[in-house]
């Protein structure tokens, strides 16, 4: 789906790093930044989908992307890729902490090991990717870090306590880092997607009946897709939002 979007001159040539950029919302973000003329690097664990995306966009624009296989639970590997991108493409000016996994679980069955693994995927990489990228941004004159929260925090959904806990923590992480990094002209914000109907969500969790219930809650009766999230992320990455930090930006079609 190719939606019309604003053109941001400040993103042309800017180095952007996206976690989980090979599928779902992440792929929509990778496409959107690449079409703005940004120099995009991304990590994922789905090599087939990621390589396919790279070939598609290179065929479309004639410009290559930088993809690296990386399990973001491995912090050393994640930070190594971030340093490599800085050396190869130039200082990263935009970091999009998108990757997450919202597998359902019964709270009674959660072990210490499972809990820690969920945090190692849905929360920990956001902090350590920021730690790795902050010096690059400072040297380059500033940057924008965009963390992904979740509407699940607001809705207090059951069946995924570990995920909701991690996403609630993201909101606090954003506010604290915005204060710490503001003096280096680095902005940190949270995007809060609503019920985005990715292929994975439709295959695993959301039935046709669920879709109807979702529309009842949304003020706008639209089927939210990954491409609907990208314009907000582009705006927060661009210089047009230079005075915005420590804030939350819902993309939920007016949930109520």
- Asked if 120 contacts 167 with a C-beta cutoff of 8 angstroms, the reply is no
- Asked if 57 contacts 65 with a C-beta cutoff of 8 angstroms, the reply is yes
- Asked if 94 contacts 14 with a C-beta cutoff of 8 angstroms, the reply is yes
First to last CA, the chain: 27
- Asked if 30 contacts 65 with a C-beta cutoff of 8 angstroms, the reply is yes
Residue with tokens 């993809």: 67
- The kind and range of the H/E element at 248 are strand 248-251
Q: Which region holds residue 253: left if phi is over 0, alpha if psi is between -120 and 50, else beta?
A: left
Within a 10 A sphere around the Cβ of 234, how many other Cβ atoms?
25
Catalytic residues: 163
- Asked if 125 contacts 20 with a C-beta cutoff of 8 angstroms, the reply is no
């Amino acid at each position: 789906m190719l939606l019309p979007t604003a053109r941001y001159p400040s993103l042309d040539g800017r180095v952007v790093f996206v976690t989980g950029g090979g599928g779902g919302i992440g792929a929509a973000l990778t496409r959107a930044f690449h079409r703005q003329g940004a120099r995009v690097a991304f990590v994922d664990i789905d090599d087939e989908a990621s390589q396919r995306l790279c070939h598609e966009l290179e065929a479309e624009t004639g410009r290559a992307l930088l993809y690296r296989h990386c399990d973001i639970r491995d912090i050393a590997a994640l930070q190594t890729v971030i340093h490599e991108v800085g050396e190869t493409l130039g200082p990263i000016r935009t970091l999009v902490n998108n990757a997450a996994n919202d597998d359902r679980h019964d709270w009674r069955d959660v072990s210490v090991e499972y809990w820690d693994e969920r945090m190692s995927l849905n929360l920990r990489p956001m902090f350590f990717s920021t730690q790795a990228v902050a010096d690059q941004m400072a040297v380059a004159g500033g940057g924008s870090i965009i963390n992904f929260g979740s509407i699940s925090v607001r809705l207090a959904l059951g069946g995924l306590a570990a995920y909701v806990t991690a996403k609630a923590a993201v909101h606090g992480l954003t506010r604290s880092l915005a204060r710490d990094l503001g003096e280096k002209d680095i902005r940190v914000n949270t995007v809060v997607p609503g019920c985005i109907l990715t292929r994975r969500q439709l295959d695993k969790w959301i039935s046709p009946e669920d879709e109807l219930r979702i529309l009842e809650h949304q003020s706008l009766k639209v089927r939210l897709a990954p491409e609907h999230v990208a314009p907000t992320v582009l705006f927060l990455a661009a210089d047009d939002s230079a005075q915005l930090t420590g804030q939350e930006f819902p993309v939920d079609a007016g949930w109520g």
